[in-house]
A and B are shown apart, each in its own frame.
Chain A
Amino acid sequence: MSDVASLTVEQVPSRRDFLHALAAVGTVLVAGRLGTLDVFAQDAAAAGAVINAYVAIAPSGKVTLQCAHSEMGQGITTTFAAVIADELEADWSQCEVVYSPAAPAYRHPVYNWQFTGNAESIRSYHALIRKMGAAAREMLIAAAAVRLQVPAAELVARSGTVQHPPSGRWVGYGPIAQEAAQQPVPASPRVKPESEWRLVGGGRSLPRRDVPAKVEGSAVFGIDVKVARMAHAAVMSAPTIATKIDSVDDAAARKMPGVLAVVPLDGVVAVVAEHYWQARLALEQLKVSWRATAAPLDDAALEATYRAAFDKSTGWAQAETHGDSAAALAAAKHLVEVEYFSPWLSHAPMEPMNATVSVTDAGVEVWAPTQGMQMTQIVLAGALKIPPEKVTVHRTYLGGGFGRRLLADFVLQAALCSKAVGRPVKLIWSREEDIRQDWYRPAFLDRIRAALGPDGLPTAVHHRLVSPTILAPVSPTPVKPGTVDALAVEDIVASPYAIPNRRVDYHMLEVPIPTMVLRTTGHGPNNFAMESLLDELAHAAGQDPYQYRRRLVAHDSAALAVLDRAAELAQWGKAPAGRHQGIAFADCFGAYLCQVVELSMVDGAIKLHKIVSVADPGRVLDRVNAASLIEGGVVWGLSAALYSAITFDKGHTRETNFDAYRVVTLPDTPELVTDFLENRNAIGGLGEVGPVCVPAALCNALFAATGVRQRRLPLASAKVFTEYGKIFG
């Protein structure tokens, strides 16, 4: 589906020196109003002098900060801007945040690709945007030196002013912004030492800029967009996977009130009408005949495909090897051989996929809740045969993303509808369509062999992992079949543990089902496998699971500190009678994470008491926001552990809405205790960290409580429920 994967490395734009590109950014700010609710509209005239790609300052002193990333609940539009504002020494109350355009200046500094995801919006951009803020600060100081006729070395920037302490004179940023913009761009701007951070870090939190509008109901999500002359579209996709349209009888549908057009697309038929419900009613009048292009799938056949892969000699690639695991396993006196399974999952963000697109001769305008702004440009440009620069992407708030909105399939559907009717079209997927047309997180099946040494610690661990790709559809460079999917093997490669012999083999399974990355990437399923395995090994060795892990990270004081703090907060080993604890650890997204789940069993059902999370992401820029992300992530992890699964029957998913695709709600959420350490050297991510250790910690606690080892998720599939969840049984 994606044209991106077919781009060669040479075609992907080469990396540029961002600071030197800043001189040419006059065109970066574009005027654009988002219908009548212009939360993130850029107003070039009002923004004033463009100092660099990220900073503009108006004569009034108002600072406009560009956020390269999409706001989907991670608080990025506040924190990203605060990092820049801190280096800039701006007055935060004078700062306004806007979404940047989809443009080269805002691309990921290493991948040279603009997207929001992989818990790396801050950690990948942090150094760059600090330099942007610092560069702007130095240019303001240089301009103030001229204005005040004093040496720049005597000037101090603070809170939106440049001050000259010897004389007491000062000048606000506003009056010198134009002159600052003319200054030479400093080659090596000096970022502040952390001791001088005022807005971020140091336990501080800023009230999120987007929260009041989200509480009032005025925040504009993609589904809320209104543009002049806008029509609405609803779609019907094939009832089974890998199925094409044979023919469409739209005579009755076209007669329905408000209908403008019936537009057959790729595997999907759209109805465009004046109002959304009119489009939905007309959909019901369509008579479509479908043609399956693959044999109907079911769970048994799919799982058989996974299992058959283990016996194949081709298609396997080595992801990692240290030492000689074959020899260590052969020599082992105590061998453990287990298999762990994580199911297919659907992204199911609260806001279903939607996009508003206007296709005209002048170009294409998109208003969408997208994580894939550049992907959107590339896909629409390819399909409409226009240059990518002619696709203007206006981003809205996102009602969750979790990776799904990295793709542009739903945007393309809207674009083709707009082309068909000659008007802007807002296309909305029903929840059923959102699940049916998902690119699922595929099931993971990991066969593991581990050997224990005389001290009970593992001498060797060999993973053989089978999964369809999760990286290919979102990668700007091609991912070849038969190779290692770098995201799929996360958590089992680069283990934080001192296990001398390690090997990871990966088989990229080909299936006729669209698959892609979902929040937690490979860490989700693989941490469940690895941390459950470690629990099995600890028990086999007769050792406490917390102490077992301490021994395996004894070489890493930061990892030890996270383990110890979690054990302390959880009062590990001191749970009241009848309560049981499970522990798990991860090195994920640049953060260490340890989680402890405490539960008891009541008439065979789980009663969750408390979940402790301790994370070390290097630096916590916003304490409240970081805690929210971890806690919300815990709930995501609980959903994966307890309920969520996409299952297949006769070529279609059984689950099409939240009645069957179950997720955790408030009654299932226990007490959450969260803490942070900041010992790691580099800044790590948080957005996908919270869920990672929950499934293993929960199942490890369950083992402690019941003596039964769960090696397949979700627990609902084994009829293991919480007290509340029994109603789903």
Chain B
Amino acid sequence: MTKFAFTLNGAPAEVDVDPSTPLLWVLRDHLGLTGTKFGCGIAQCGACTVHVDGQAVRSCSYTIDSVQDAKVTTIEGLTRAGPHPLQQAWIAQQVPQCGYCQPGMIMAAAALLAERPKPTAADIEASITNICRCGTYARIKQAILAAAG
């Protein structure tokens, strides 16, 4: 067990865990933030997407020792500055069905918009590879385009 300190959604966080613990399970089990989801554990599905120092990262495959002193943002932290345009668009377009993949989708989309504020449909197709078993992709695309304005 080792101590790790980092910034989580704008506030300091510290945990004492095995260094091999994925960031995903630190967030869920040790820090009580269950918005970030477990889907595959091998970075294939994106349900665990968070931002580390502004980059979208699949936290199931990112061990806690990689975030020492980093700035981590989870879905819970996305609305710190008020309702995020993506979340508003997700509600307006009624995107979620079961909803389990959506926090990861939104975090992936937020990272895309941060890098490319006016993505084309092709940009979205190239960068949003998260899996949704309910198949909400058509609405996801519409919502991202709507949020981009």
Contact = CB atoms under 8 A, between A and B. Distances in A.
Given A37-B34, A215-B91, 11 more contacts: A73-B99, A218-B76, A226-B34, A281-B18, A350-B131, A431-B40, A628-B136, A631-B135, A636-B133, A665-B132, A666-B125
How extensive is the interface on chain B, given as a class?
Answer: 35 or more
A146 interface: no
Interface string A345-365: 000111110000000000000
A430 interface: yes
A186 interface: no
Given A72-B98, A628-B94, A223 B37 contact: yes
B128 to A, nearest CB: 5
B36 interface: yes
A249 to B, nearest CB: 22
B65 to A, nearest CB: 13
B131 A665 contact: yes
Nearest to A217: B35
Given A275-B29, A400-B134, A658-B44, A625 B94 contact: yes
A226 B140 CA distance: 30
A518 B128 CA distance: 27
A633 B138 CA distance: 12
Interface string A41-52: 000000000000
Interface in A193-245: 205, 207-208, 210-221, 223-224, 226, 232
Interface of B: 1, 17-18, 20-22, 25, 28-30, 32-42, 44-45, 47, 74-76, 79, 87, 90-91, 94-103, 106, 124-126, 128-141
A657 interface: yes
24 contacts: A73-B96, A73-B98, A207-B91, A215-B90, A215-B99, A217-B33, A226-B32, A277-B22, A277-B29, A399-B99, A400-B100, A431-B39, A628-B97, A631-B139, A636-B135, A658-B40, A659-B42, A663-B131, A666-B125, A666-B137, A667-B126, A667-B129, A669-B137, A669-B141
B75 A216 contact: yes
A636 B133 CA distance: 7
A136 interface: no
Contacts of A659: 42, 44
Interface in A593-613: none
Nearest to B34: A224
Interface string A70-104: 01111100000000000000000000000000000
Contacts of B42: 431, 657-659
A629 B134 CA distance: 8
Contacts of A275: 17, 25, 29-30
Nearest to A672: B138
A683 B18 CA distance: 55
B1 to A, nearest CB: 7
A720 interface: no
Contacts of B22: 277
9 closest Cβ pairs, A-B complex = A217-B35, A635-B135, A214-B99, A399-B100, A73-B97, A73-B98, A632-B135, A217-B75, A224-B34
Contacts of A432: 41
Nearest to B87: A215
Contacts of A451: none
Contacts, number: 188
A397 interface: yes
Interface string A632-659: 1111100000000000000000000111
B18 A208 contact: no
A428 to B, nearest CB: 7
Contacts of B96: 73, 208, 210-211, 214-215
Contact of B138 (A205, A224, A669): A669
A628 B131 CA distance: 17
A620 interface: no
A632 B1 contact: no
A224 to B, nearest CB: 4
A580 B40 CA distance: 37
Given A210-B99, A658-B131, A628 B90 contact: no
A257 to B, nearest CB: 7
A398 interface: yes
A697 to B, nearest CB: 16
A349 B75 CA distance: 21
Contacts of B47: 350
B7 to A, nearest CB: 18
Contacts of A398: 98
B18 A632 contact: no
B89 to A, nearest CB: 9
Contacts of A633: 135
B25 A277 contact: yes
Interface string A524-559: 000000000000000000000000000000000000
A624 interface: yes
Contact of B106 (A215, A281, A348): A215
A633 B137 CA distance: 11
Interface string A311-352: 000000000000000000000000000000000000011111
Contacts of A218: 35, 76
A628 B102 contact: no
A632 B131 contact: no
A226 B35 CA distance: 13
Contacts of B97: 73-75, 628-629, 632
Contacts of B128: 666
A667 B125 contact: yes
Given A217-B74, A349-B133, A400 B18 contact: no
A126 to B, nearest CB: 21
A349 B125 contact: no
B98 A397 contact: yes
A659 B34 CA distance: 24
A628 B100 contact: no
Contacts of A37: 34
A223 B34 CA distance: 9
